[in-house]
Amino acid sequence: MVKNDRLKVTLSGVKLDNPVIPASGTFGFGYEFTKFYDINILGSISFKGTTKDARYGNPLPRIAECKEGLINSIGLQNPGIDSVISNELPKLKACFKNPLIANISGFSIDEYVECCKKIDKEDQVEIIEVNISCPNVHNGGMAFGTNPESAKEVTKAVKAVTTKPVYVKLTPNVTNIVEIAKACEEGGADGIVLINTMLGMRINLKTKKPVIANKMGGFSGPAIFPVALRMVYQVYEAVNIPIIGVGGISFAEDVIEMMLAGASAVEIGAANLKNPYVCKEIIENLPEVMDKYGIEKLTDVIGMEHYYRYLEKRRLIWEKML
């Protein structure tokens, strides 16, 4: 495996060989994919969402196929933080040598704090990704990420017990994503990850009932890419911390488009479920696509669209002044 310096990016001081990261929930704990390819080609891995206690997940069925995507209601199935640390991470450490991103979920601030405090001690984990799309059991079940104050409170509490960069993963199911992102930055977040899945539903024409047992679930796949791109674009203009762009990315061209909007790295989600080789293929295709569009280094294009728009705005102002 030959590394290409043109692809290198940095997230809060953490150096990645490239910006391609399999998204939590679509790549297991990573070692499962070693039967397909050498996973050390990846920039990082955001491993399976982890909670304080083991969770079986939601009742079946919990997957529904859609045009240009799928709906899932897995329900954060995982063995719990202690088992992840003692059983899963050693397996991954044996086959993956690059920085890891730990995806942490919780149903109370205390749960977030406990999990993040424990995972912060793991050497291979270099970034903690806090998923605030979870329902707050102490606040009527409303997701932490739908309220700026709750988002800020979780972020602040986690930062108080961790030493590693904390990236907050946001739900798109809100009225104003910028407001939530700014609240996380105010709470001390080192970065933002967006977007998580969108709320969707399918109905079986034969049974006349929802396909998914929980009725609704998270919609992901190529269809949500324009929404994710728009939100990354908006948030980039509002915060001064790095962004990891997620949502519908399937090709090398998508990676570059997301970075033009403001992402410093990207996560690949649903595409892994359709093609287990997709992350490898995107990494291998990036240099050719960069050559096609005259891009020397990927870091050169981060937020470039905003810069060009700024220059055009300045040009128009000068024309009016003359």
pLDDT one-digit tens code per residue, 155-191: 999 999 999 999 999 999 999 999 999 999 999 999 9
Q: Of 162, 305, 282, 289, which Cα lies nearest the Cα of 229?
A: 305
Q: Length of the chain in residues, anyone?
A: 322
DSSP-H helix ranges across 75-205: 81-83, 89-93, 109-119, 148-159, 177-186
- The answer to whether 66 is a known catalytic residue is no
Cis peptide preceding 19, ω within 30 of 0: no
Residues 6+ apart with CB under 8 A from 266: 19, 20, 21, 244, 245, 246, 249, 254, 255, 258, 259
> 211 - beta bridge partners?
none
* Domain 5-321 CATH superfamily: Aldolase class I (3.20.20.70)
Strands in 43-108 per DSSP E: 45-50, 63-66, 69-72, 100-104
Q: Is the pTM of this model over 0.85?
A: yes
Residues 6+ apart with CB under 8 A from 77: 55, 56, 57
Mean pLDDT of 223-252: 98
Backbone angles phi, psi at 39, to 5 degrees: -70, -5
Q: What's at 125, amino acid-wise?
A: V
Question: Per-residue confidence at 318, pLDDT binned at 50, 70, 90?
Answer: confident
- Of residues 116, 134, 184, 279, which has the active-site annotation? 134
